[in-house]
Amino acid sequence: MGPLVANIFDPRSWGTASNTITLEVTRVVLAIGLFAIGIELPKSYLAKHVIGLSVLVIPTMAFGWLAIAGIMNVIFPHLDFISCLVIAACLTPTDPVICASIVGGKYAMEHVPEELRHILAAESAANDGLAYPFLSISIYLTVEVSRGVAFGKWFAVGWLYQVILGTVIGATMGLGFSRLIQYTHKKGYVDRQSYVAQYLAFAIFTIGVVRTIGSDDLLAAFAAGSAMSWDGHFHKQVKDDVFSSVFDFVLNCACFIYIGAWIPFHAFNSAHLFVSPWQLVVLVIVILFLRRIPFVLLLHFWVPEIETWQEALFCGHFGPVNGGRGNLHINFGPDPAP
């Protein structure tokens, strides 16, 4: 549908605003997807599975980030290692939208253990929001002369202001709204359809509030969804509703069609960018095998939800990269500070 084949529409022909439009499209789609994952997790899931989730998210992301940067430094020798870290930060997190589509399908329901499906969904949501610190430290090391200043800003802005504050605000909003909607439901002010409407509206409201102050809006959306369904009440009201699932599916399809039309495929063979197709093909193949698989196999002994090495191999291979990466690389300019 894009300019390369059908040429039905070309987002890049819309002028300088095309990147801004792409940023907001991916932001809304990701926020709804992350919020949905938080809602659909079992009651108090994050508290009960904090050990396995922490092991699967933090070390795996860190190792994968460094591995991708090292691979890129070899394949693209004109790039210095810090520049490779910037790009690697955009490729490290998994995509929660694709993840939710896969672990929620009929085949997965029948063949993938429930604990594995839940931990993969939660991991994809958490590591998508936690990609910001990896990207911000890379950029700060690039733009700051002093490494001490770079690490100081990274801790103050990348962690405290963006990740911690964003998570706290999202969780607080989710808990507050959960209490409010339960109260109105008991009083008979809202019906079941109202829950579905809030399912979508509150996700957008959360990212709007958190993004206004410059914190991590995606992690806030996941925190809000998890907090809202912490006691299981909200999840119980919407779990059998078809509209929210269909709407989410249509929104995801539209987003991927848009991204496919927006990607500059002509740049895949660009002499002035020192990029050639064979380098990109090699990069994709190596990333598929080395980004997650070795580290998940190594760490799965400390993840109670992963029982066998076959499940660890599945979790390691299961690491889709897609729409959220456009959001990351557009979202940060030379100065990632809010």
CATH topology for the 11-331 domain:
Na+/H+ antiporter like fold (1.20.1530)
Tokens coding 34 = 């992350």
- The closest alpha carbon to 124, from 95, 103, 154, 147, belongs to 95
pLDDT recorded at residue 338:
40
Across-strand partners of 275? 270
Exposure b/e, 222-244, CB count within 10 A at least 16 = b: bbbbbbbbbeebbbebbeeeeeb
Name the residue among 286, 216, 219 with its Cα closest to residue 64.
286
Per-residue pLDDT tens listing for the chain (338 residues) = 888 888 888 887 877 666 788 888 888 888 888 898 888 888 889 999 999 999 989 999 999 999 999 999 999 998 899 999 998 988 888 877 777 667 776 777 788 888 998 898 898 888 887 888 998 999 999 898 889 999 999 999 989 999 999 999 999 999 999 899 888 888 888 777 777 777 788 999 999 999 999 899 999 999 999 998 888 877 777 776 655 667 777 877 888 888 888 888 887 887 777 888 889 899 989 888 888 999 999 999 999 999 999 999 988 887 656 555 554 545 544 444 34
Strand-pair partners of 270: 275
Residue with tokens 């599945």: 314
CA distance 280 to 268: 8
Phi first, then psi, for residue 222 (nearest 5°) are -65, -45
pLDDT confidence of residue 37: 87
Q: Which of 139, 54, 53, 134 is nearest to 90 (CA)?
A: 134
Rg (CA), the chain: 20
- At 243 the pLDDT is 57
Q: Which residues contact 234 (CB under 8 A, 6 or more apart)?
A: 39, 178, 181, 195, 228
Helix (H) or strand (E) holding 67: helix 50-75
Cα–Cα distance for residue pair 34/117, rounded to 1 Å: 15
pLDDT score at 18: 67
For residue 26 the two structure tokens come to 């991916």
Read off the amino acid at residue 2. Answer: G
